[in-house]
A and B are shown apart, each in its own frame.
Chain A
Amino acid sequence: MCLAVPVRVTELLPDQMAKVSLDGVSKSISIALVDDVSVGDYVILHVGFALSKVDAEEAERTLAMIRDFAGMNP
């Protein structure tokens, strides 16, 4: 039910809408639930709404931790 995907914001539109893209597929979504969205941000998209922003540093940190746990740190 809580299916959601990270998508990149490519254009801000009127009425708290934005155009987002996922690997060449683009769609208009509502960004009314998230503050301070800028072009280039990644947001979590769920049923047509951005639910939160993706924190790039945190994503890197998690990946580093996964590599560490997996014993595969470079």
Chain B
Amino acid sequence: MKYVDEFRDGDLARGLARSLATSARDDREYRFMEFCGGHTHAISRYGLEDLLPPNIRMIHGPGCPVCVLPVGRIDAAIALARDPKVTLCTYADLMRVPASGGMSLIKAKAAGADIRMVYSTLDAIRIAEAEPSREVVFFAIGFETTTPPTALAIRLAAQKKLSNFSVFCNHVLTPAAMRAILAGEGEGVEIDGFVGPSHVSAVIGVRPYQFAAQQFNKPIVIAGFEPLDVMQSILMLVRQLNEGRCEVENQYGRAVTHEGNLKAQAEVADIFELRDSFEWRGLGEVPASALRLRAAYADYDAERRFGVTTPSAKDNPACECGAILRGAKRPHDCKLFGTVCTPETPMGSCMVSSEGACAAQWTYRRFDTQRVAS
């Protein structure tokens, strides 16, 4: 696989590991948050932590949209799906996320709701065209990477004058979440720098992260998702800190340009507008951190069309997902981790997606942790 295999080369990884070992100063700790779930997955899957010196600690950030979606929004999606005229289309990642009352989309489907897993927003459009008597609702989640495909689907629906298609929009914004984490620093969260998003940055470019370097003095290196990309970026962060620099650097230049994808940005700006505030699991209400459909596209907005309300729902009080998502705690600091909460029976959202900090730790690295369920 071109542009993949080259960035998974074992010899180069060991070379980078040696460089890291000599570059990391013994007299300090380096605490880096990888924002994206994709990076969390790569770090766990390739065992990268084994290649890092002990004084470099990776903190798994909130960049897994499944993990940060609050329970109330899942409850609302399930309520929508239970409407007998509704066909709810969703990415497969959401199927097992626990909702209130032990419910989930996969259980709602078993109970008779018409829920279909799709690979792309275009599949949802096709279903709406093929089944004009059904109200097809696309359950849209994701960061800036996944938003443009939703925008295009809405544009396409408008062009085709599809009257039975709408979107339940839960798209959220990366820089706003980073800002919320940095603003909350000190409450158990200490971060020396960020391994920045890959494909989010392919869309939004480099500029939106400048605030973190300028206002919060945190270096950021935008990094590809392959293991060498991650190691290289960690090394770049270490060098920035050692040299007293604080910049936004772009390690993933092969896919990320300075401006990002202007066409995709324009699509998103035409169809969506900022919400004043949006609830994130773990971070709480974050101002200007999510999108909703503009009034001009109200016909395609499932929230308006079906009068969706988001009931306030509580997580399991013992669940530490919130603190884990902020980087204040590690998965094995949670009493539920590996006992009642496992990927088979997730209590919290971090255990659901394989990109979640807890699922990655449990699935790939639980030999590291003290608490081992038998």
Contact = CB atoms under 8 A, between A and B. Distances in A.
Assess A/B contact in the complex (Cβ within 8 A).
yes
Interface of A: 1-6, 8, 22-23, 30, 32-35, 42, 44, 46-49, 51-56, 58-59, 61-63, 65-67, 69-72
Interface of B: 1-4, 6-7, 11-16, 18-19, 36-38, 63-66, 91, 93, 119-123, 141-143, 145-146, 148-149, 152, 197-200, 202-203, 224-225, 228-229, 232, 235, 251-257, 261, 263-264, 267, 353, 355
B121 A47 contact: yes
A63 B228 CA distance: 9
B199 A72 contact: no
Given A1-B65, A2-B197, A63-B6, A34 B15 contact: no
Contacts of A67: 12, 15
Given A2-B200, A70-B12, A49 B38 contact: no
B253 A1 contact: no
Contact of B254 (A23, A33, A59, A69): A59
Contacts of B119: 47-48
Given A46-B146, A46-B149, A59-B254, A71 B15 contact: yes
Given A47-B119, A49-B152, A1 B355 contact: yes
Given A44-B255, A59-B3, 13 more contacts: A1-B38, A1-B145, A2-B143, A2-B199, A6-B4, A33-B152, A48-B120, A52-B255, A53-B255, A55-B255, A62-B254, A66-B12, A70-B19
B237 to A, nearest CB: 12
Given A52-B261, A72-B12, A46 B199 contact: yes
A67 B235 CA distance: 13
A70 B3 contact: no
B263 A42 contact: no
Given A2-B146, A6-B2, A51 B264 contact: yes
Nearest to B268: A33
Nearest to A65: B232
Contact of B203 (A51, A55, A58, A63): A51
B239 to A, nearest CB: 9
A63 B229 CA distance: 9
B148 A33 contact: yes
Nearest to B19: A69
